[in-house]
């Protein structure tokens, strides 16, 4: 992957009267990576994306996209961007194929070229069968997929997606994640906002957390994990009661803490990483047959909760409620 930065955001701010929606944020996105932007409702995600794509004017700071000043030369910058908003905004009366062709025409694509591309995209997004159906007759998942297809019809260098998997069925969400990874493979840089932390963990190369208009963390998934990691954990599950052996275990593995989860399950918490085999050998000598031993790593959700103080599940429900209300 190239390490050249395609997006550089410097000291970007947006003020609405006395309210500071985005407060002096800076970050960059490398060419060809998937960059995730996570935060609760009202954190400033959409305002940031709007300033980057030219739908809102920054109160301060700059946005540079592939060397183009995207604040003062917005139309030039828009020619290399693909934009997929949080709500599907295609034309209800037009069919899927015509919607794609119309979107292509806005980027100056000639008739033959846009028709060929529209057909290819319908096939790629598994929408060929419904290509001649009016957009208003599409299911939520189909609408989302066609909106993404419309965003990439002109083969943009960078794709902005606002909540691409919100409110759609599991299968469509899986297809969309797969399509995004395919786009990344083909060299497209992707900026994505999502409240599905597990989605971000699965597909993003780098992630920034935004809360109250401020970026509170920014890094690769492993960097973010390291920033909150406080030791290692091994979870052991056996077919007999482990509780009587808890003290023995703690004494044997000096410096570790044993937490009894259930009669048959304990967690060994250590400052340093300990290999699994000595633990299993020790229990074997004690006549305990362990049928599951697992190293527990922190998830991105743990990192998010730790850094932002916001319960991930609460964030998800808040967003889904908002999405349903729309």
Partner 1 sequence: MKTWIAFLNILKKDIQNYYLKPPNISWGIIFPLSWTLMQLIRSSGGINMSDIRTLLPGLMAMSVLFGTTSMLAVTITFERKGRSFDRLLLAPISLNTMVTAKLSGAILFGLFNAFVPVLFASFFIDLAGTNWGAVLLAVFLIAVTSTLLGLIIAVSAKEVFEAQTFSNFFRFPMLFLCGLFLPISSLPIFLRPISYLLPLTYGTDLLGEAILGAGTLPPVLCALILLVFATVLFTLCQYNIRRKWIL
**Which residues lie near partner 1 (CB under 8 A)?**
50, 53-57, 75-76, 78-79, 81, 83, 85, 87, 89-94, 102-103, 105-110, 150
Secondary structure of 100-152 as H, E, C letters: HHHHHHHCCCCHHHHHHHHHHHHHHCCCHHHCCCEHHHCCHHHHHHHHHHHHH
Distance of alpha carbon 118 from alpha carbon 37, whole angstroms: 29
DSSP-assigned letter for residue 95? B
| Rounded CA separation 160/63 (Å) | 14
Nearer to partner 1 by Cβ, of 110 and 174: the residue is 110
The nearest distance, CB 326 to partner 1, in angstroms, is 11
**CB of 85 or CB of 164, closer to partner 1:** 85
- The CB-of-55 to partner 1 minimum distance in angstroms stands at 6
Of 150 and 183, the one with the shorter C-beta distance to partner 1 is 150
Query: What pairs with residue 79 in β-bridges?
Result: none
Whose Cβ is closer to partner 1: residue 23's or residue 50's?
50
Nearer to partner 1, 79 or 281 (CB): 79
| Shortest distance (Å) from residue 142 CB to partner 1 | 17
50 vs 308, which CB is nearer to partner 1? 50
Nearer to partner 1, 57 or 286 (CB): 57
Chain centre distance of CA 118: 27
Phi/psi of residue 286, each to 5°?
-85, 0
- Indicate if the alpha-carbon torsion angle 58, 62, 66, 70 is positive or negative: positive
To partner 1, the closest distance from the beta carbon of 51 in angstroms equals: 10
Tell me how far, at minimum, the Cβ of 156 lies from partner 1, in Å: 10
Cα separation, 160 vs 162, in Å, equals 7
Closest by Cα among 296, 175, 155 to 237: 296
Structure token digits, residue 314 = 């609460």
Q: Minimum distance from CB of 102 to partner 1 (Å)? A: 6
3-state helix, strand, coil in the chain (%, to 5): 40, 30, 30
Shortest distance (Å) from residue 90 CB to partner 1? 7
User: What is the Cα–Cα distance from 285 to 276, expressed in whole angstroms?
Assistant: 15
How many degrees, rounded to 5, is the angle at CA 251 between CA 245 and CA 253? Answer: 100
Q: Which is nearer to partner 1, 38 or 159 (CB)?
A: 159
Q: Smallest distance from the beta carbon of 61 to partner 1, in angstroms?
A: 16
């Amino acid at each position: 992957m190239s390490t050249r930065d395609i997006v550089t955001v410097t000291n970007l701010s947006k003020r609405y009267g006395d309210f500071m929606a985005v407060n002096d944020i800076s970050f960059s996105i490398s060419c060809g990576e998937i960059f995730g932007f996570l935060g609760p409702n009202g954190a400033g995600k959409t305002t940031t994306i709007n300033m980057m794509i030219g739908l809102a004017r920054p109160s301060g700071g700059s946005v540079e996209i592939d060397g183009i000043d995207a604040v003062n030369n917005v139309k030039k910058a828009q020619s290399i961007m693909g934009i997929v908003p949080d709500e599907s905004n295609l034309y209800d009366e037009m069919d899927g194929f015509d919607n794609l062709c119309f979107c292509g025409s806005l980027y100056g694509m000639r008739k033959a070229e846009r028709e060929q591309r529209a057909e290819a995209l319908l096939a790629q997004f598994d929408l060929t069968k419904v290509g001649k159906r009016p957009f208003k007759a599409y299911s939520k998942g189909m609408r989302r997929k066609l909106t993404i297809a419309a965003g990439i019809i002109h083969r943009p260098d960078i794709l902005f997606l606002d909540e691409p998997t919100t409110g759609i069925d599991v299968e469509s969400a899986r297809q969309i994640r797969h399509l995004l990874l395919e786009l990344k493979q083909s060299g497209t840089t992707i900026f994505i906002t999502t409240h599905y932390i597990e989605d971000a963990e699965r597909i993003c190369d780098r992630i920034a957390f935004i809360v109250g208009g401020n970026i509170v963390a920014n890094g690769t998934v492993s960097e973010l994990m390291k920033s909150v990691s406080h030791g290692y954990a091994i979870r052991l599950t056996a077919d007999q009661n482990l509780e009587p052996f808890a003290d023995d275990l703690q004494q044997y593995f000096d410096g570790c803490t044993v937490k009894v989860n259930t009669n048959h399950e304990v967690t060994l918490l250590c400052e340093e990483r300990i290999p699994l085999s000595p633990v299993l050998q020790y229990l074997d000598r004690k006549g305990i047959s362990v049928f599951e031993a697992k190293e527990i790593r922190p998830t991105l959700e743990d990192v998010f909760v730790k850094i932002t103080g916001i319960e991930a599940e609460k964030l998800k429900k808040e967003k889904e409620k908002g999405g349903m209300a729309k």
